[in-house]
Amino acid sequence: MANQILNYGVTVGVLPFNVCQNVSDAYHKETQTHHPAIKPSELPKLIADFQNSNRDFLTKVLFKWQLLSMVRPAEAVSIEWSEIDFDKNLWFIPAEKMKKTRKGQFPHTVPLSTQMLKILESLRPITGVNKFVFPHYSQPNKSMSKETITNALRKTGYQGIQDSHGLRSIARTYLEDQAVDFRAAESCLAHRIGNETSQAYNRAEYIELRRPLMQLWGDYCESCGMDLSF
C-alpha cells in the first residue's frame, strides 16, 4: 500500500522519486513452508527414539548428518565425496543441487563441525568407494531418497510432529535462542539476505562466522545424546 501511494506521488509530480522502490529486493524473503518441528529442548528424546529404532544403519547416520548440517533433505542425501575438502573442513554444494528461487540457484558452502567430520571419517571405509556418501542400497550409483528421513521419522512415531525438512527449524530456533548473529545464522541455512551485491559479499564473509555456529550446534546435538561412536 505504501509503495503504491509513493508511486502515485511520483506520477502526479508531488515526489521526485519513490524511496521504497527497491526495499522489497533488499529485504526479499523466500516463501516459507512450515514443516512440523519439535523444540530444541525436546531434541534428546528425538535423538534417543531414532537411535533406538529399528531403522537401518545408514538411515540412522543420515539422520545425524542432516540434523548437524542444517541443509535441506535433497542436499543432505546427495552429498558426494568429491564435494568435501578435508584440508579446509568444508563441504561445497554446487548450485544445481540447491533450492531453486525466483532469482536462480546459488552454491552453498558448509563449514564442517567436529561431529560432522567424525561421521565422514567413520563412513569413508564403508562408502568411500562410492560416488555418494549415502548411496542407495540397491543402486549404489545413486544416492538415498530425499524422503528417507521423513519416512523413517513417520515410522518412529513422529508423523505430524517432526519431518525431515523441519530438522532445520530445530537448529534455527536453537541458534536464535543463543542470540547469535542473525545474518550468520540465516546463512547457515542458506537463506538469502539482501540484494545480489550483499548476497555475494555474505557468501564470502559469513563462512568463517558460521564455523563457531556450526560447532555450537554440533556440540548441542552431541550433548543431547547423539552417538558418534559407530
Active-site residue list:
72, 99, 165, 168, 191, 201
Q: Specify which residues 84 forms β-bridges with.
A: 91
CA neighbours closer than 13 Å in the CB half-sphere of residue 176: 10
CA distance 200 to 223: 35
* Beta strands at 108-111 and 90-93: parallel, antiparallel or unpaired: antiparallel
Q: Tally Cβ neighbours within 10 Å of residue 191.
A: 15
DSSP secondary structure string for all residues of 67-129: HHH---HHHHHT-BGGGEETTTTEEEE-GGGSPPBTTB---EEEEPPHHHHHHHHHHHHHHTT
- Which of the 8 DSSP states describes residue 40? G
